[in-house]
Amino acid sequence: MTPLRPYDLRCEHLATARGLNTPAPRLSWALEGEGRDRRQTAYRIIVRDRVGERFWDSGVVASGDSQLVPYGGPALPADAELSWTVTVWDEAGQASSPSAPAVIFTGLGAEDWRAQWIARYFVLPAGREVPADNPYDNRWQARPADYLRRDFRAEDVPVRATLYVTALGLYEVWLNGRRVGADVMAPGWTDYHTRVEYQVHDVTDLVHGGDNVLGAILGEGWYSGRVGHNQRRAGNHYGGRPALFCQLHLHFADGRTEIVASDGDWQTRQGPICYSDFLMGEMYDARLELAGWSERPGPLLGWQPVEAFMPDPQAPQLDAARVQPAREVASLPGQFSHHARNGAAIFDLGQNIAGYVELTVSAPADARFTLRHAEMLDGERELYVANLRHAVATDIFIAAGTGEETFKPRFTFHGFRYVELALPDGIGAEDVGLTGIAIQTDTPVTGTIETGHAMVNQLLSNIFWSQRDNFLAVPTDCPQRDERYGWTADAQVFWKTAGYFMDVSAFLTKWMLDIEDGQSPDGAFPDVAPTKPLNPYRLTAQPGAPGWGDAPIIMGWQHWLRYGDRGLLERYWPAFERWMAHIGEANPDFVRHNAVYNNYGDWLSVGAASDRTLVATAYWYHVSDLMAEMARVLGRPADAARYRETAGNIAAAFRNSFLLPDGRLLGDTQTAYLLALDFGIIDDPAQAAAAQRLVELITQADGHLQTGFLGVRHLCPVLSAIGRDDLAMDLLLKDTYPSWGFSIRHGATTIWERWDGWTPEKGFQSASMNSFNHYAYGAVGEWIWSRIAGIDASPEGPGYAVIRLAPLFDPRLSPLSAQYQTTRGTVASDWRFEGDEVVWTIIVPPNSKGSLRLPAGWRCPDHAAASWQVGSGQWTYRLVPA
């Protein structure tokens, strides 16, 4: 038998750690190998420096652990580039070949920074000296981008050059005329008054001996540009001008290190980006391009000194990036569709995306191209832009007349499928190239699933794209209108689904810190994170509503189940406790009347509204139950007992307050019964009555759902739990209103915010809240993955040490194929009908076990019981009706 093979090496959840925030980073790897019952029995980690010298050797460690193994060597130096490999031994004592090396950039400590924050000298927030009729004037007072540069001399060619860079706002860095890296919207979004994350780039190949030029372009982004829906305070949430902070470290063969830092020696001016704003769009005038600005040493005309300054209210903490950068992840060619009434050409990407357009044209100087973006067309095939609210979502390109020219925005993005392109005279739609570029935080794709049902496959695609379009720096609600907040409830109901499609371990590691940064002194978690734009007039963040403020605890538990990351639970346990104390002190009778703030309830449900106090109290019970489980994991038995007691008191108060004498729950809604059943708040006989009433309510709705954001996640899982897989499957496959299939039947390529975002009878819903790219209702994805494909994590072996494999078979979905890359290795579940029988094949990765369970009505001739356990490897079963 061949040895095991370690692969997919990670440091703190990242394939390449570009800077560390801990002296003992944790290392992980996945395993693959032929045969069954394969397992690791030992490992050896070797860390080397850039030239291959051994820095640390763990020696052979007898252990099956491959997840989040702490580094145990000497203190890691700052400003170093290291690589590490792992060799593993299997159950027979065979050693693998060393893995492919993974790189770690150690980054800088607080004491290593010499840079200063630099910016164009302060003028009006619009960035203009005096309002004037020039290319930088615009009715939104959006700032032009600032270009910064400085030249430096390297007497020798460095053996290593590393750039450490961040910004208040957005940046793009250039070195000797070449773009550094492929990041977009860097450095991402944090509470800039508290912390910013810096990025690390190896630029050794870009530096040469002699004169060099380091340059940067700064945009407003989340820092000073428009974000959110508060038009009384549309921008400047953190400051009035973007700023740069960077250090270039040059290491030479003789051991010297020279540092080129941002300081008062830099120069600045404005250039072709006349303005760039998330909501307004970007205007680029190619006639104003600055030839040689990032590659020509020496003084250039029109450049002025920067100002080195201290940001208000204080300099933010500098952290290494905890998450993958945002990048361009897909290109979709735009197809000409038709001409609008105004004569502009309308192009269709065929997919709703978040990103921008790359436009290629050959046009005379002064030719103007205007691009407007929309998710939908109206009944007259014009762009539907009313739902953008105050977002203008318009980009403008003015040609320089130098032949073929390409325009692609740098510091804005839009949510769109359709593009209206206004063309100058003499140029037709056939004369331009138009490509949609999708961007996202580059969380690795981990799951692929395909069924034999076209609508379900489209639903899975819609869920995936809504996640892709909204996972940009933080998990936003929507990418198109004037909002784009990191709403916490939207994320928590979707988080289990999100983890199937993409690796969100690093993403949550970073965002959980944003949430904690927004926690109020009295313990209240926020509604959104980062918090500032939601309510800029509060001195503290807008406190979280039930289901919203509870989100960190729920996502923390999901993170533990999926990734086995005990460290995250330990890190945020004090913050979780402060939130629980905040609720408990306000509600001594164990009914959650108080400290509910903007109590949204089951947001955007259809039909009767659920009682908001019932929903709030149910969530309080749920997070109390999870806190007890976390306390058990963390070895805190007294805390576990305390939260068990709290949960018991809440359950008793829930029954007394909301369980009516006739056995129904107050409000009598689908969501009320779903939460009570899924959270386990009620026992038999009330539980059986609630299950029966839930089925009755669905039947009375002609077999349709009537849930909102909070209820939708529980719908199909609860129906399966009460033995009504048939009803859950029928709900999944419906295409009449309201249902997932209804939007798909009407052309949806992403998940809609509202079940009734558009209907044939009423047209578009209220433009004040009608996004066509919201992932919350995509939470049904977790049921498709965990129950139809049958792949799920287990608290008996978190991090997929034990894998629950319990599929549901339905000939309408045959054949089904699902593969999921866990941090331990690949798990797969494929099934297909052959006549009345089902052939089910599974793959369990090494170091994991599979806990199999057949659905009711099926049996395996090779196993007397309906459930059994297997080791790693590939297993195939022929199943017959029971």
Q: Could you list the active site residues?
A: 483, 753
- Which two tokens mark 824? 């331990």
Q: Environment class of residue 71 by beta-carbon count within 10 Å: exposed (0-12), middle (13-18) or buried (19+)?
A: buried
Q: How far apart are CA 343 and CA 349, in angstroms?
A: 19
CA distances from 761 to 572, 738, 756 (A): 48, 13, 10
Alpha-carbon distance values, 863 to 684, 854, 866 (Å):
32, 11, 7
Backbone angles phi, psi at 840, to 5 degrees: -120, 125
Residue 826: what residue type? T
Rg value, the chain, Cα: 28
Cα angle, residue 476 at apex, residues 542 and 586 outer, rounded to 5° = 30
Q: How far apart are CA 882 and CA 869, in angstroms?
A: 20
SS3 for 174? strand
Assess contact for 264 and 306: CB atoms under 8 A.
Answer: yes
- The answer to whether the CB of 636 falls within 8 A of the CB of 661 is no
Longest Cα separation, the chain: 87
* DSSP secondary structure string for all residues of 451-490: -S-HHHHHHHHHHHHHHHHHEESEE-S-SSSS----BHHH
Residue 702: burial class (beta carbons within 10 Å; 0-12, 13-18, 19+): exposed
Query: In whole angstroms, what separates CA 32 from the centre of its chain?
Result: 28
96 contact partners, CB below 8 Å, separation of at least 6: 3, 4, 5, 6, 87, 88, 89, 90
Contact 163, 171 (CB under 8 A): no
As a whole number of Å, the end-to-end CA separation of the chain is: 37
Torsion over CA: 298, 243, 187, 351 (sign): negative
Q: Is the dihedral of CA 527, 528, 529, 532 positive or negative?
A: negative
Strand partners, 359: 407, 434
Helix (H, G, I), strand (E, B), or coil: what is residue 855? coil
Determine contact, residues 494/776, Cβ cutoff 8 Å.
yes
Pairing of strands 170-175, 178-179: antiparallel
- Give CA–CA dist 122/882, Å, rounded: 77
Give the tokens for residue 409: 């925005």
Task: Retrieve residue 582's tokens.
Answer: 């905040």
